[in-house]
Amino acid sequence: MATTQLESHVLSKSCQYALRAVVYIAARATPGHLVGAQEIADGLDIPKHFLSKILQQLTRNHLISSTKGPHGGFFLSEENERVTIDRIVEVMDGPGLFKACVLGMPQCSSDHPCPLHTQAVEYRDGLYNKLKRLNIKELATVVHKENIQL
């Protein structure tokens, strides 16, 4: 009887963790102190081993940097700091999120719109454009200045 409610989301949990972790790294990493997976996991209350997988994925895609061994950990190169937020989403959740039809139709375009195309596309593209223009460093700066909680 009781209808089990789904827990819907725009971004996957992996992607949510990735974004929070990257901001955390941007905030805490210094040349003298790299940020370890353990530290991030503790600080953001994310399962450590799961987080590790995510950080590996980001590293492989050159969105963040890492070194092994004692005092190793994760950090952001100057290049990394200029990576835009949409890139992180793209790597974690695939390139389809901001292209795909809300109703799951094979094509999404004004030529072949689905019933909700008009309603959905305006805001979807709006968010996409914002994330494309926002890089990690900028986001971290705002988070610091506004004292935003991770």
Partners of residue 33 on adjacent β-strands: 30
Looking at 24-32, 62-70, 78-86, 109-117, which segment touches DNA (CB under 7 A)?
A: 62-70
105 touching ligand FES, by CB under 6 A: yes
Are residues 26 and 43 in contact, defined by beta-carbon separation less than 8 angstroms?
no
In the list ligand FES, DNA, a second copy, none, the entry touching 134 (Cβ below 5 to 8 angstroms by class) is a second copy
Q: How far is the CB of 17 from DNA (least distance, A)?
A: 7
Question: Rounded to 10 degrees, what is the CA torsion of 102, 104, 106, 108?
Answer: -10
Smallest distance, Å, CB 103 to ligand FES?
A: 5
108 binds, among DNA, a second copy, ligand FES, none (CB under 5 to 8 A by kind): ligand FES
Contact 69, 36 (CB under 8 A): no
Q: DSSP for 86-115, please give it.
A: HHHHHHHH-TTTTTS-TT--S--SSSS--T
- DSSP code of residue 31: T
As a whole number of angstroms, the distance between CA 135 and CA 72 comes to: 25
Residue of 76, 91, 109, 135 that binds a second copy (CB under 8 A): 91
Cα–Cα distance measured from residue 82 to residue 76, given in angstroms and rounded to the nearest whole number: 9
| Contact footprint for a second copy (CB under 8 A) | 3, 5-16, 19-20, 23, 57, 60-61, 85, 91-97, 100, 102-105, 112-117, 119-120, 122-124, 126-127, 130-131, 134, 139, 142-143, 146, 148-150
| Contact footprint for DNA (CB under 7 A) | 1, 4, 6-7, 9, 12-14, 17, 34-38, 47-50, 52-53, 55-56, 59-60, 66-74
